[in-house]
Amino acid sequence: MRHVLFRLEKDRYALPLSAIREVVVAPESFTRVPRSPKAMKGVMNLRGRVVPVVDLRELLEVGPGPVGGPGRVVLLDRGRRELGLLISEVDGIESLEKIGPPAPRASLAVKGLARLGAIPVTVLDPDALDATVARAFTTK
Amino acid sequence: MAGPSWDTSRYLTLFGGEATEHLEALGKDVVALERGATVALVDSMFRHAHSVKGMASSMAFEGTAKLAHLLEDLLGTLRADVARADAAVADVILQTVDALGLHVKAAVASEPLPDHGALVTKLSELNAALAGKPPPVAPSAPTPTPVSQPEPARPVAAPGPSADASAPPRFSLKLKINPASNQPGVRGFLAYKRLSTLGNVFDLKPPLDDVKAGRVPQGTITLELESDQTEEAITRTMRTVADVELESISLLVKAAPPPPPSSESDPNRVVGQEPARTIRVRTEVMDQFLDQAGELLLATSRVRELTRSVPQAQRPALDEAVNRLHLLVKGLHDKVMEARMTPIAVITDRLPRAARDIARRRNREVELIITGEDIELDRAIVDELADPVLHLLRNAIDHGLETPEERKAGNKPPRGKVTIAVRRQRDRVVFELSDDGRGVDVERVKALVVERGLLTADHLQTLTERETLMLLCLPGFSTARDITDISGRGVGLDAVRRAVDQVGGTLEIETTPGRGTTFRLSLPLTVAVVNLLLVGVGDEVYGLPIGKVGGVVETARERLSMSQNAPVLQFGQSVLPVHELSALLEVPPDVQPPALVPFVVVDGDDGRLALAVDRLLGQREVVLKGLSKPLDLVAGLAGVTILGNGQPVFILDVARLVTA
């Protein structure tokens, strides 16, 4: 299955291509969402639509660290709405077939681990990502 | 396209909508029937049952069609002697209407149709019993008083079934709209609607779209009506339409009857035969129209903002182009809003039936009077109000009205009265629901509030009578002595208030002990455009709906008084609790707070309160957008909008901000 490969700093991640609407350059600033969990970066204006964006690093709890440069926003297609994920950089599209079990204690949003040559890639599950965001709001 | 294989599933939604409308109208008629049966009323019911039957059989829902057919039979029998329509008969009719409703629901959900064998038997028996006494009438459609007229030879050689001798007579009508009416369009449209319940309208001049838009030269409308009603009945019906006068009515000599229900490829379709030039549009499509038009409006403001950086020399032409674009887009937006307007009758039509049911279960007698149901509101508001209005009605009958015995003892007529009056007031619609019952016992409300620990006795002292009554809307508050099936289901007045708030309305309660209670809802005509006060907190900007803002006081924090260790603001005669907006929203405030802090006074759930902000940024009219997941999980946000500079800004729901 074809996946979009991207990075959070040095770590490599992937999401199914079919789950992604587009990738845009992150805006200079986000409008903060009141009373929201830490992972909620804010909302952005995407051609007249207000799109919520989460900081993927915070959501997956992979430890703090700057998102170098302006970063990119991956827009997940959630039917009539979108969910933005703030990441460092997109690497490209690759076919990932063999997806093994996730690392122990990985976030629920992680589907499993794949390999691209010698490089490990964490494959994320779009539905679980969405659910993790909702849970972050309700358990805040 | 015809044939056994035709796919009916596409038409399911349409069927559901139309059948439900007919059934609701039927239910309403049954209630009227109990007040006094007339032939016209039974005819109206017959027509609704007939329509449902026709729709059901074309969708191949045999069970539904059969039930509707039996109902039609019963009504046909009843027509011969309407005096026999007693409460027992009305009950059976209502049961059938309910059963049909269940059928339609199941059909739309593609579930198996429920079985109503017992009801089928009951209907047949009742029909036989009713028809048994006098010589049974012909089991055909209700034959109108026959108007014998020579059938003129048809000039056009139109093959097909012989002239339809049973076609109802045609009348020529001339209507005049009162020139003083401020809504000639609505009046004209209502007249048209009333007439079309009596039969088929032809040759409407001016065409319906023009009538609706109020384009009626000299206020005169002419039309032809094919109806089995008498001239008197039509005249009587027209008298119920305010501001429209029936100038003349005459029976037409039967002209060439319309061609038989045409096969599709009939080239001679009579032009000008427009039953109603309207189309049904799925509500989601209308929502999308509004979204798009709203976004166009925002995009235009963005373009205008960008032109400011263009060199002066090129500005005039550019400005003109942008102004023109803005006008066009605004026009489009207005049209979309107009298309979304729905008469409030959509929700009030089902209330007579509901009132009857509630009153029966609670041993009350009630007369429900509804006025102004033709007033139109944005569909979103009408939808949002359906449940709250029903709840207010339940409340009025269940808690407001006394039992007939109690009323007699109090020198009141045994039958209680509930009045619903809807009227336009400038750019708002006022919806009032009043009962003439026992009124609210304010002292009891106060006692309960203290007893339940919702407020302290001290706090109560500071409230005005109006504010005290609003305590009824506190979550979890109920003065009902017992939990009843009808009113005690947890959705209390707080839910009503929430819904009213949600659409940008306000709720007021007035009561006179022993005389009754009035709930007054003041509603905006549309939800999409809201007027905001923009405030700054730290780096962020928020919008407060102007309707909720009572005023602004600028003062230094040190000058606030303290009450029970919390700061309070003196505002006119009252003392208001102060909240820091930055703390409520969990956003950092300005590092260097201003010397003079703006305190915005807003209406909360239990009275007014003051919000401390860093800056006032002025008023703005904006297009409100709803919140999608996960933003809808945040308590205290009412929506979001995009300012001209492209910045998204949240609109706050003040009441929920402090309670949740």
DSSP annotation of B291:
H
Name the pLDDT band for B1 (thresholds 50, 70, 90): very low
A126 contacts in chain B (CB < 8 Å): none
> Is A42 in contact with A32 (CB distance < 8 Å)?
yes
CATH number of B9-132: 1.20.120.160
Q: How many CB atoms lie within 10 A of CB B47?
A: 22
Partner B contacted by A32 (CB < 8 A): yes
Closest CA to B350 of B322, B386, B388: B386
B170-251: CATH architecture: 2-Layer Sandwich (3.30)
- Write down the domain spans for chain B: 9-132, 170-251, 283-339, 343-524, 529-659
Cα separation, A2 vs B525, in Å, equals 50
CB–CB of B432/B520 below 8 Å? yes
What average pLDDT does the segment B261-274 reach? 44
Angle between helices B315-339 and B283-307 (to 10 degrees): 160
Can you give the pLDDT at residue A130?
92
Compute the nearest-CA separation of B615 from chain A (Å).
Answer: 17
Q: Which residue type occupies B214?
A: G
The reply to whether domains B170-251 and B343-524 share a CATH topology is: no
Print the SS3 string covering B219-277: HEEEEEEEECCCHHHHHHHHHCCCCEEEEEEEECCCCCCCCCCCCCCCCCCCCCCCCCC
The three-state secondary structure class of A72 is: strand
Q: What per-residue confidence (pLDDT) applies to B266? A: 43
More confident residue, A44 or B441: A44
Is a pLDDT exceeding 90 seen at residue B447? no
Tokens linked to B485: 């099936």
The number of CA neighbours under 13 Å toward the Cβ of A7 is: 15
Identify the pLDDT of residue B624: 78
DSSP string over B334-379: HHHHHHTEEETHHHHTTHHHHHHHHHHHTT--EEEEEE-TT-EEEH
**pLDDT greater than 60 at residue B196:** yes
CA B577 to CA B608: how far, in whole Å?
8
Q: Does residue B627 have a pLDDT over 60? A: yes
- Interchain pair A33, B628: CB under 8 A: no
- Block residue for tokens 């007529």: B413
Q: Which of B268-272, B461-465, B541-545 has the lowest mean pLDDT?
A: B268-272
What residues 257-316 of chain B have any CB closer than 8 A to a CB of chain A?
295, 298-299
- Confidence tier at B187 by pLDDT (50, 70, 90): confident
pLDDT at B521: 93
Question: Which of the 8 DSSP states describes residue B429?
Answer: E
Is residue B646 within 8 angstroms of chain A, CB to CB? Answer: yes
Q: Which residues of B touch A79 (CB under 8 A)?
A: none
What's residue B263's pLDDT? Answer: 43
- B124–A contact, CB cutoff 8 A: no
CB pairs under 8 A between A and B: 61
pLDDT of B324 strictly over 80: yes
In this prediction, residue B610 carries a pLDDT of: 94
On the question of pLDDT at B28 being above 70, the answer is yes
* pLDDT tens digits, B106-116: 888 888 888 88
Residue B9: per-residue pLDDT: 61
Q: B128 at the A interface (CB within 8 A)? A: no
Just give the CATH number of B343-524: 3.30.565.10
Interface probe for A, chosen from B586, B611, B624 (most Cβ of A below 10 Å), is B586
Among candidate residues B435, B438, B366, B448, the one with its CA nearest the CA of residue B406: B438
Q: What is the pLDDT of residue B451?
A: 80
Question: With 0-12 CB in 10 A as exposed, 13-18 as middle and 19+ as buried, what is B388?
Answer: buried
For chain A, say whether B632 makes contact (Cβ under 8 Å): no
Query: Tokens 């994920």 belong to which residue?
Result: A85
Flag whether residue A80 sits within 8 Å of chain B, measured between CB atoms: yes
Give the pLDDT band of residue B8 (cuts 50, 70, 90).
low
B633 touches chain A (CB under 8 A): yes
Give the pLDDT confidence of B84-97 residue by residue, as tens digits.
Answer: 888 888 888 888 99
> Minimal Cα distance from B623: which residue of A?
A48
Q: How confident is the model at residue B274 (pLDDT cuts 50, 70, 90)?
A: very low
Contact: A137, B640; criterion CB under 8 Å: no
How many other CB atoms are there within 10 angstroms of residue B153's CB atom?
A: 7
A59-63, B239-243, B392-396, B423-427: range with highest mean pLDDT = B392-396
Nearest to A81 among B628, B635, B649 (CB): B628
pLDDT bracket for residue B478 (50, 70, 90): low
The chain-wide mean pLDDT, for chain B, equals 80
User: Which has the higher per-residue pLDDT, B267 or A33?
Assistant: A33
Kindly determine whether residue B298 and residue A43, on different chains, have CB atoms separated by under 8 Å: no
ipTM: 0.93
B426, two tokens: 């400038």
If contacts are CB pairs under 8 Å, which of residues 91-120 in chain A contact chain B? Answer: none
Give the mean pLDDT of B333-352: 87
State the Cα–Cα distance between residues B227 and B216, nearest whole angstrom. 24
CATH number of B529-659: 2.40.50.180
User: Does A34 have pLDDT greater than 60?
Assistant: yes
Every domain of chain A and the residues it spans: 2-138
| B446 compared with B649, residue with greater pLDDT | B649
Mean pLDDT of A105-127: 90
3 state SS for B570-588: EECCEEEEEEEHHHHHCCC
B89-93 contacts at long range (C-beta below 8 A, 24 or more positions apart): B89/B126, B89/B130, B90/B30, B90/B33, B90/B34, B92/B122, B92/B123, B92/B126, B93/B26, B93/B30, B93/B33, B93/B45
Average pLDDT of the segment spanning A126-137: 92
Please tell me the least confidently modeled range out of A65-69, B285-289, B389-393, B422-426: A65-69
Superfamily the domain A2-138 falls into: CheA-289, Domain 4 (2.40.50.180)
Out of B625, B633, B648, name the one closest to residue A31 (CB): B648
The stretch B531-551 carries a mean pLDDT of 91
How much of chain B, in percent, has pLDDT values that exceed 70? 86
Per-residue pLDDT at B326 exceeds 80: yes
Query: How far, in Å, CA of B586 to CA of A36, rounded?
Result: 8
Residue A68 confidence class, pLDDT cut points 50, 70, 90: low
In this complex, the residue of A34, A50, A52 whose CB is nearest that of residue B630 is A52
- Set of chain A residues whose Cβ sits within 8 Å of the Cβ of B634: 33-36, 137
